[in-house]
Amino acid sequence: MKDAVSKYVKPKSLTWWASVFPLFAGLALAFATAVPGMDWLSGMVESLFPGLSAAALVNMGLVGIGLRGAFK
């Protein structure tokens, strides 16, 4: 189990962070649209990633993490 996690979680890798950032932004956007009063968070995410939905951001992050784990 530890090998499977360490294959995908690489906090010292810049490419890992480049994939995790859209994943967290997509989750934040989905959370912000579901909770009233969190318009500031959705506005911040939409200014960073204009025109992308929460699902697109989450998928972009998961694909990046998966590709990072596939290549050694």
- Domain membership of residue 10 (yes or no) is no
69 in a domain, yes or no? Answer: yes
Q: How many folded domains does the chain comprise?
A: 1
- The pLDDT tens digits of the residues spanning 5-64 come to 778 888 888 988 999 999 999 999 999 988 999 989 999 999 999 999 999 999 999 999
Instruction: Write down the pTM of the prediction.
Output: 0.85
Helix (H), strand (E) at residue 27:
helix 14-34
Domain containing 57: what range?
23-72
Listed residue (29, 36, 16) closest to 55, CA to CA: 29
Tokens of residue 20, six digits? 């995790």
Is residue 15, in this structure, part of any structural domain at all? no
Side chain identity at 61, as an amino acid letter?
G
Q: Which amino acid belongs to residue 71?
A: F
Residue 33 lies in a domain: yes
Does 14 map to a domain?
no
